[in-house]
Amino acid sequence: MDSKRDKDQDADIEKITAVLLKSRTGEFDLESILFLKFRSHGIHDLGCIGECINLERLDLSGNKITNLAPLASLRLLGVLNLSANRISNLEPLSSCDSLQSLNVAGNLISSIENLHCLQSLRKLENIRLKDNTYNYSNPVCRNSSYRTVLLEMFPNIKVLDGERVVGRGSDLYQLCKDIDDTIKAGSYKNGQVPDHADCKPWVEDSYWEIKRSNSAIIDEAYKQFNDVLHECRLLNNRATHMISQTERSLSLKKQPKQYAV
């Protein structure tokens, strides 16, 4: 019975309906719904989701959404994840006055002009248009001045593309970025870094596992925490490989030269 229910919940959903919302949340009234997660369900029509006027957190990542018009009525929405969809127009979000965190990485946003509509959102502190962990991006990110222009457009932004740019933690993010750039520079200088199967992690993999919760808030925090961990592991692996390569290079230089007799 449970496996059948899980299979049904994983099935593709073309359109969000009132019946679907009530069955997923257990709420009789759509206005009582505060959190929703429809991740990777093949959704292309948001249907009546705009009737959930008290919605605070919404995850619609990994779908086929192009039209955000139904979200315009969600004035209490604080956290919105629209990554990996087919969105090119963000205009409907301009009325989401409470929006604090917006993830639109992996969409079709082509220019800085497409982001002007978000400038009226005074509470917006976290914008993600690019996510290296999942290789998500937008055409606008290819603009060399994209990051500088965005920070000028949104002076209240604290986190851009997962990197804290101001406030507590910004120095750590910058340090990690500098280390990453240094490692990459060394890799390019010395050629392709080989993969070492004998490299040991600092701790066992299970050390980082935490118990999942049915709470939408905890679930979102769990995802963000694991994204950061994944980036840290990638950085650690590159550093380990670079150190190993450097040690081998130094070891070869110290070996005495042998001459044929």
In a domain, 4, yes or no: no
> Is the same domain home to 141 and 221?
no
> Is 1 inside any structural domain?
no
Residues 236 and 107 in one domain: no
User: What pLDDT was estimated at residue 209?
Assistant: 54
Examine residue 50 and state whether it is found in any structural domain, yes or no. yes
Which of 145, 166, 187 corresponds to the end of one domain? 166
Same domain, 239 and 113: no
pLDDT score, position 182: 64
Given 140, 166, 192, the domain boundary residue is 166
Residue 3 lies in a domain: no
What's the one-letter identity of residue 60? L
Q: Is residue 5 one of the residues assigned to a domain?
A: no
**Are 144 and 23 found together in one domain?**
yes
Residues 122 and 209 in one domain: no
Q: What is the pLDDT of residues 91-131, one digit of tens each?
A: 999 999 999 999 999 999 999 999 999 999 999 999 999 99
**pLDDT of the chain, 261 residues: tens digit per residue:** 444 444 445 568 899 999 999 999 999 999 999 999 999 999 999 999 999 999 999 999 999 999 999 999 999 999 999 999 999 999 999 999 999 999 999 999 999 999 999 999 999 999 999 998 889 999 999 998 999 999 999 988 999 998 888 755 545 555 565 566 666 565 555 555 455 555 556 556 555 554 444 555 566 666 667 767 777 777 777 778 778 777 777 777 666 655 554
Q: Are residues 181 and 233 in the same domain?
A: yes
> Are 53 and 173 part of one and the same domain?
no
pLDDT tens per residue, range 153-182: 998 899 999 888 875 554 555 556 556 666
Question: In this structure, is residue 2 part of a structural domain?
Answer: no
Q: Has residue 63 been placed in a domain?
A: yes
Domain span at 238:
168-255
Q: What CATH number did the domain enclosing 32 receive? A: 3.80.10.10
Neighbours of 36 (CB within 10 A): 18
Count of domains for the chain: 2
- Which of these three, 123, 143, 166, is where a domain ends? 166
* 224, 183: one domain: yes
Asked whether residue 209 is assigned to any structural domain, the reply reads yes
Q: Model pTM? A: 0.65
Does residue 124 share a domain with residue 17? yes
Structure confidence at residue 212 (pLDDT): 46
Q: Are 240 and 139 found together in one domain?
A: no
What confidence score (pLDDT) does residue 2 get?
42
